[in-house]
Amino acid sequence: MAKFTQAAKVGLFFVGAAAAGFAVYRTVGGNVRSGGTYVVFAHIKDATGLAANSRVAIAGIPVGTIDAIKLENGMARVEVRMKGDVPLYDNATIGKKSASLLGESVIVLTPGTDDKRKLKDGDEVHVVVESASTDQIMNDVARIADRVKLVAEQLAASLGTEQGGDNMRRILSNVAEATEALNVTIRENRQTIKDTLGNVNRITAAGEPQLVKILENVRVITEDLKLMLAQQNPKNNGEKGELRSTVERVNRASASLESALGHIDSIAGRVDRGEGTIGRLTKDDALINEVQGVAEGVNEYVDGLRRVQAIVGLRSDYNFLAGTIKSYVELRIQPREDKYYLIELINDPRGKTTFTQTDTDTTNPNEPAHYRTVTTTTTDAFRFSIQFARRLGPVTGRFGIKESTGGVGLDLHLFNDRFELVNDVFGFGESTRPRFRIFAGYEFLHRLWLLGGVDHIFLADRRDYFLGLQLRFTDDDLKTILPFSGGFTSAGK
């Protein structure tokens, strides 16, 4: 009855762990819905800053991930895995948008309108929105500066020469002659002007009442203007007039502008003379080359950091013969698609076992002349793994420390990396025979793996069979469950 109770507890724990793992998967793997997923692709000119498994958004909301980035006909083919409940139509658009100051970019989409054909798995998004780059903006500014320089040179060539001065003197002479001609015309038409003034006098006499009203209105206006210009306005509790205050603010602003222009002129002179850091930077070619080299090094370093992908794995195995559960926490740091570093922390209920062999020679007649004693020591301690892995085609080789001992591994990837056959040989210091373990894994749901295999194949007394589940997710998936990730991504945008 006690054995049945223990087995029942183990079974309930395994079911609870599977349910918890599935709940975490439902939280992290937001892509998995009842409708499944589908893949569309587009060709863009520049894929700088994009990485596989990075998010894809519509109106700032994640709706999928980048499935793959390939080179096709001189352009980047970006394949996007969309959620099944987010439709795209034939007039949908796709573009690249910067997400951070370090150069990271994300794919943004607009779904299009439902009066167009709905895109299916494998269809292409034809409308690509190409944003202007910083280099294009700088080139436009350079072209504008060249044209301004050309206009200044033309103006200097027109007025800064002796011929330009002669042309200006002729223009002034023509103005003087025109003024003299106007004076002659006025003398010749003196009577006509006198008659015109008489007519104006009669008109003003007839319109005197209206003129009085106009003058009164002008008096009121000038009084109000005087109040606006007054040092102290009696209608506004002795405060300054509005127009005077405005003029004083303009005067202060012009003084500040004059001071700023003086500082700018001083700084520009120092730069032109090659003084200070900026001045030496513009004059010293060696310093310019050094700064350029440092900038290129920083760019390469930041680009390498942007390509690093972190993959976290949570795994639990049930050993049928031992009746125990073995747990793993795994971290893969993957700078490239064909290389990664593996770090594991393992909690094995059977503990860490070491074997000590002692050979004894004796002259005691009651004992054999030569005999060997093998001592087995088991301690309750965590095991750890640190391995370097390199992939060549469908095969990945690993070597390093495996469960606190030296070890090597060989993995086979099939069916678009959804099926894995894993072989591990380690434990060379624990016994005369190394520990050999083989198991197969299948991704039956997105990021959720079913595992099964045999451990201790070479040791019959420790051989066991196990079955387990593993949840794998990337650092982009972690952002969806972190409470501050939304603010971070919006700030990066």
* pLDDT number for residue 34: 43
420, two tokens: 């894995």
Q: What is the edge-to-edge ordering of all strands in the sheet holding 105-110?
A: 37-44, 75-83, 61-72, 55-58, 105-110, 93-98, 127-129
The secondary structure of the chain, three-state, reads CHHHHHHHHHHHHHHHHHHHHHHHHHHHCCCCCCCCEEEEEEEECCCCCCCCCCEEEECCEEEEEEEEEEEECCEEEEEEEEECCCCCECCCEEEEEECCCCCCEEEEEECCCCCCCECCCCCECCEEECCCCHHHHHHHHHHHHHHHHHHHHHHHHHHCCHHHHHHHHHHHHHHHHHHHHHHHHHHHCHHHHHHHHHHHHHHHHHCHHHHHHHHHHHHHHHHHHHHHHCCCEHHHCCECCHHHHHHHHHHHHHHHHHHHHHHHHHHHHHHHHCCHHHHHHHHCHHHHHHHHHHHHHHHHHHHHHHHCEEEEEEEEEEECCCCEEEEEEEEEEEEECCEEEEEEEEECCCCEEEEEEEEEECCCCCCCCEEEEEEEEEECCCEEEEEEEEEECCEEEEEEEECCEEEEEEEEEECCCCEEEEEEEECCCCCCCCEEEEEEEEEEECCEEEEEEEECCCCCCCCEEEEEEEEEEEHHHHHHHCCCHHHHHHHHC
List the one residue out of 69, 94, 84 whose CA is nearest residue 120.
Answer: 84
Phi, psi angles (nearest 5°) of residue 156: -65, -40
Residues 6+ apart with CB under 8 A from 253: none
The answer, as to whether pTM is greater than 0.85, is no
pLDDT digits (tens, 9 = 90+) for 59-102: 889 999 999 998 998 899 999 999 989 999 999 999 888 776 66
- Contact between 402 and 410 (Cβ < 8 Å): no
- Contact between 159 and 168 (Cβ < 8 Å): yes
* pLDDT number for residue 474: 83
68, two tokens: 């793959």
Phi, psi angles (nearest 5°) of residue 229: -90, -5
Phi, psi angles (nearest 5°) of residue 128: -115, 125
- Contact between 110 and 119 (Cβ < 8 Å): no
* Strand 55-58 with 105-110, pairing: parallel
HSE toward the beta carbon, residue 242, CA cutoff 13 A: 4
- Contact between 50 and 108 (Cβ < 8 Å): no
> How large is the greatest C-alpha to C-alpha distance in the chain, in angstroms?
163
Task: List the beta bridge partners of residue 387.
Answer: 342, 400
Domains and CATH numbers, the chain: 35-131 (no CATH), 144-236 (no CATH), 308-488 (2.40.128)
pLDDT digits (tens, 9 = 90+) for 408-467: 999 999 999 999 999 999 887 666 678 899 999 999 998 899 999 999 888 888 889 999
Cα 446 to Cα 19, 22, 38, 233, 468, distances in angstroms: 16, 11, 13, 77, 16
Task: List the beta bridge partners of residue 64.
Answer: 56, 82
Residues of the chain with pLDDT under 70: 1-7, 9-10, 20-35, 100-103, 131-137, 157-160, 227-244, 277, 279-284, 287-288, 291, 295, 297-306, 351-355, 374, 376-381, 429-432, 477-493
Task: Name the amino acid, one letter, at 248.
Answer: E
* pLDDT number for residue 441: 95
Q: How far does CA 174 lie from the centroid of its chain?
A: 67
